[in-house]
Amino acid sequence: MQTKDLYALFLRHPLIDTDSRSIRPGSLFFALKGQSFNGNDYAPEALAKGAAYVITDEPTPTPPQKTVQRKSALLALQQLAAEHRKHLSAKIIGITGTNGKTTTKELIHAVLSTSYNTASTHGNLNNHIGVPLTLLSIPSETEMAVLEMGANHPGEIAALCRIADPDVALITNIGKAHLEGFTNKETIFQTKKALFDHVTKKNGTLFFPGDDPCFSAWLNYPSHIAWGKDTFHVSGTLTRTPPKIQAHIKGQSPYFKPFETEINSPLFGAYNLYNIMAAIAVGKYFHVSTKKIKQAIENYIPSNNRSQIIHTDKNTVIMDAYNANPSSMKNALDSFLMIPNTPKAVILGDMLEMGETAIQEHQTITHFLSSAAGVKKFFVGNIFSQLENEDESLFFANTDACIRYLKENLLSGYTILIKGSRGIHLETTIPYL
């Protein structure tokens, strides 16, 4: 079956499933493969649970009339998504960057939704599987689609662009992350800028932080909007110290009239000011009123362990443990240490996928915090626990060990920053804080 024929099948059955445990009646089941599973093994189960067809890449004991066998089920999914993209009239906004992708995506979605029929990436489905699934979930009546694009190896953003064909590009920043796959920051930059390379070929518009030297060359590109703290198309100044953001925002550009506004956001951290400015820049470019932008941003409540402020019976917890890398860890700590007039504690988990730099990058964090007098320091994970014990820091091999300590040594009256990679599961410490 050719892709055009598979697309005709998709139009009759516009639900895509890849997990046989959660089949929806009438869906197309793509038998994807992973490190520990082979979706072809579950094709019969998918049909039994109500899938209309299964798309496989190995012989399976399923009825031929209900089976589409391709060379690669994953490639078939990607090609189907690329075909669907051709039929969408929505403006596609591609977002990538080292940090802040998901928060920026959600803020932009909130802003654009005030004025347009808007779709966006669910959660962080931003890879070679997630982007196709997101595209295939976009209805034909959608006017704006905000797609998050992630990468942990060179070339991945370019591949996603070939599928999603974005019209507008936004890069949040370039920092250290996934060094196991990228090796260095320059490789990260070259991978991320593939989004700009794709959009400039279409004469599309670029959005980026204008005070980041990584993007200086793009300031000469005729169709761009930059943001920063001082002199760019959208600028902002923090008017109050963290944890919550209060900022004065102003902007002027060939694309929109001058404006000023005050933003009071529940987001934590000075670094989120840049995510807010990015959302404002996109909103103004697409003619969303300042009033609607302000309301959308102020009403956005972070979730899923991203910059959440949680008030427990005993403490105030800043929960930012959805993911972590050296750049985001340093940004979070910088903002956290600025919080005045409160006892402070940090619970930091390993930063994963650091490759050969892992020990060095973790040691940099412990050294940085060694001068933070009066801050209780908890380091959790296999990498942190290999480091020298500095000052009165506590090191735990895993989160369970940290929880056992917290049960016996209760913290009360503290503001606590929790930051680490998802794999460390630091969210499980919350009931004991």
What does the pLDDT look like over 100-126, one tens digit per residue? 899 999 999 999 999 999 999 987 789
Show me where the domains of the chain are located: 3-78, 88-298, 308-432
pLDDT exceeds cutoff 90 at 306? no
Nearest to residue 55, comparing CAs of 38, 45, 40?
40
Which tops the pLDDT comparison, 350 or 188?
350
> Which of the four pLDDT bands, split at 50, 70 and 90, describes residue 178?
very low
Please give the pLDDT value at position 189.
82
Please report which helix (H) or strand (E) contains residue 236, including its range.
strand 234-238
Q: Model confidence at 59, in pLDDT bands (50, 70, 90)?
A: very high
Q: Is the pLDDT assigned to residue 10 strictly greater than 50?
A: yes
Give the pLDDT confidence score for residue 85 in this predicted structure: 97
How far, in Å, CA of 11 to CA of 40, rounded? 23
What is the rounded average pLDDT of the residues 317-321? 91
pLDDT at 81 over 70: yes
In the predicted structure, residue 378 carries a pLDDT above the cut 60 = yes
The arithmetic mean of pLDDT across residues 150-165, rounded, is 90
The model's confidence at residue 139, banded by pLDDT at 50, 70 and 90, is very high
Distance CA 330, CA 337 (A): 11
pLDDT at residue 372 above 90? no
- Asked if residue 12 has pLDDT above 50, the reply is yes
> Tokens for 58?
């190995």
Mean pLDDT of 18-36: 95
Span of 61-65, 172-176, 428-432 with lowest mean pLDDT: 172-176
Q: What are phi and psi of 102, to 5 degrees?
A: -70, -45
Q: What mean pLDDT comes out for the span 192-200?
A: 94
Give the helix ranges, DSSP H, for 100-211. Answer: 101-112, 130-136, 156-164, 179-182, 185-192, 194-201
pLDDT for residue 162 = 97
Per-residue b or e along 241-271, where b marks 16 or more CB atoms closer than 10 Å to that residue's CB: ebbebebebebebebbeebebebebbbbbbb
Share above pLDDT 90 across residues of the chain, in percent, rounded to a whole number = 73
Say whether 220 sits in a helix, a strand or coil.
Answer: helix
C-alpha distances (whole Å) from 133 to each of 104, 123, 240, 253, 416 are 20, 12, 40, 35, 37
Determine the Cα–Cα distance for residues 321 and 246; give it in Å rounded to an integer.
Answer: 23
Coil vs helix vs strand at 121: coil
Q: Radius of gyration (Cα) for the chain, nearest Å?
A: 23
- Please name which of 167, 177, 163, 175 lies closest in space to residue 144, comparing C-alpha atoms: 167
Q: Which of 275, 113, 150, 266 lies closest to 208 in space, CA to CA?
A: 275
Work out the number of other CB atoms within 10 angstroms of the CB of residue 26.
14
Assigned architecture for domain 88-298: 3-Layer(aba) Sandwich (3.40)
Say which CATH superfamily domain 3-78 falls into.
MurE/MurF, N-terminal domain (3.40.1390.10)
- What percent of the chain has pLDDT above 70? 97
Say if residue 231's pLDDT is above 70.
no
Mean pLDDT of the chain: 92
Could you read off the pLDDT of 330-345 as tens digits, one per residue?
989 998 998 888 999 9
Domains 3-78 and 88-298 share a fold: no
Please give the single-letter amino acid code of residue 329: M
CA distance 154 to 345: 37
Mean pLDDT of all residues in 151-168:
92
Stretch 371-397: mean pLDDT: 88
- pLDDT on residue 297: 97
The fold of the 308-432 domain, in CATH, is Protein-Tyrosine Phosphatase; Chain A (3.90.190)
Least confident of 221-225, 358-362, 369-373: 369-373
Q: What pLDDT score does 28 carry? A: 98
Measured between alpha carbons, how far is 308 from 310 in angstroms, rounded to an integer? 6
